[in-house]
Amino acid sequence: MRAQGPAPETAPPLFPGGGLISYNSIFTTRGLMPESSANIPATARPTFAHESDFNFTWGFYRNFDLTILVPIVTNHFEEVGTPTVGGAGLGDAMVLVKYRFYRRDSRRGTTQASVTVGPKVPTGRTGLTDDNGILLPASLQPGSGSTDLFLAANWTYTGVFNLKRLVADEDFHSLLRSQGTQETRLGSDIESRFWLSYRPYESKNGAREWFIGPVLTWLHTQNDRVVGVTQGGSGGNLLLAGVTTYVGVRPGMHVWLGMDWDVAHSTGALFMPARRHISFGITQQFRVHF
């Protein structure tokens, strides 16, 4: 799952010649496997995962920006009656280009829409082992070993119900996966994240502001394929609800905190839905060139 990004609104690109760097720390907790087994299932997901995302974005042209995202991933898997296994390593990096194809300003506010596309490249670690030196399944590795395609469509609507400080923001994206390490193709994802935020405070010069509001996220994951065999019940649907707050502390610098909880999910035999999802981060914008 993706967390709140470096900006409160996902559709707008950076201003031409602008740049930002951000750090995002994401914690995801899952329940234990529905059924225990002597060996770790090939489709097991981490019961606890921490991802540190380092983001560099550059507004290289009007309505376009370029993002390079590099994660460091820590995965742990726990099962009743067995020791915890896992480890940390570099994750798969992404190189993304965003294009804003629509913007309309009115007395109510601004409506914007954009698309994002780019590859996820296999830079991540794929050699984690347990205490006995046995290679962990691909689903527990920081990297996937596959080259995948990321696609997104974003929409931001400022002035919901003619309230200029009420903003609706939709992030709809998909990660289309190919076969990677251990002849495993992890299930492709489709995710929809809707945030309705209100800005109760904004300083006169715009240097300080505060956004807060509810978030609703739906995630669909397809079944994994291991050595060409579909692992039935490893994919499923998940619905999360939570809240995100975003604060501008000084010109160009923002911090954010988001928390989501599981409200409904599929009951596949191998499906491990997220129970809790917490993220926080900090962003600093700057000017790259004029």
Q: Residue ranges of the domains in the chain?
A: 18-287
Closest by Cα among 41, 229, 228 to 139: 41
Beta strand extents in 39-147 (DSSP E only): 48-61, 64-79, 82-90, 93-105, 110-121
For each of the chain's 290 residues, which pLDDT tens digit applies? 666 678 889 999 999 999 999 999 999 999 877 555 668 889 999 999 999 999 999 999 999 999 999 999 999 998 877 788 999 999 999 999 999 999 999 988 899 999 999 999 999 999 999 988 999 999 999 999 999 999 999 999 999 998 989 999 999 999 999 999 999 999 999 999 999 999 999 887 767 899 999 999 999 999 999 999 999 999 999 999 999 999 999 888 999 999 999 999 998 888 999 999 999 999 999 998 76
Residue 258 CA, chain-centre distance (Å), reads 12
Distance, in Å, from the CA atom of 5 to the CA atom of 177, rounded to the nearest integer, reads: 22
pLDDT of residue 3: 60
Q: State the DSSP code for 131.
A: T
Distance, in Å, from the CA atom of 192 to the CA atom of 250, rounded to the nearest integer, reads: 31
pTM, 2 dp: 0.94
pLDDT of residue 34: 58
Sheet of 229-230: strands edge to edge?
A: 184-185, 225-226, 229-230
Neighbours of 4 (CB within 10 A): 25
What one-letter code names the amino acid at 162? Answer: N
pLDDT of residue 31: 82
Q: How far are the Cα atoms of 179, 239, 251 from residue 217, in angstroms, in the given order?
A: 27, 6, 30
Distance, in Å, from the CA atom of 123 to the CA atom of 128, rounded to the nearest integer, reads: 14
Give buried/exposed letters for 127-164 (b at 16+ CB in 10 A, else e). Answer: ebebeeeeebbbbbbbbbbbebebebbbbbbbbbeeee
Distance, in Å, from the CA atom of 5 to the CA atom of 20, rounded to the nearest integer, reads: 12
Q: Does domain 18-287 have CATH number 2.70.98.10?
A: no
pLDDT of residue 131: 87
Q: For residue 77, what are its two tokens?
A: 């898997």
195 contacts 155 by C-beta, under 8 angstroms: no
Distance, in Å, from the CA atom of 139 to the CA atom of 146, rounded to the nearest integer, reads: 12
pLDDT of residue 35: 59
pLDDT of residue 108: 87
Distance, in Å, from the CA atom of 85 to the CA atom of 20, rounded to the nearest integer, reads: 36
Distance, in Å, from the CA atom of 130 to the CA atom of 127, rounded to the nearest integer, reads: 10
169 contacts 183 by C-beta, under 8 angstroms: no
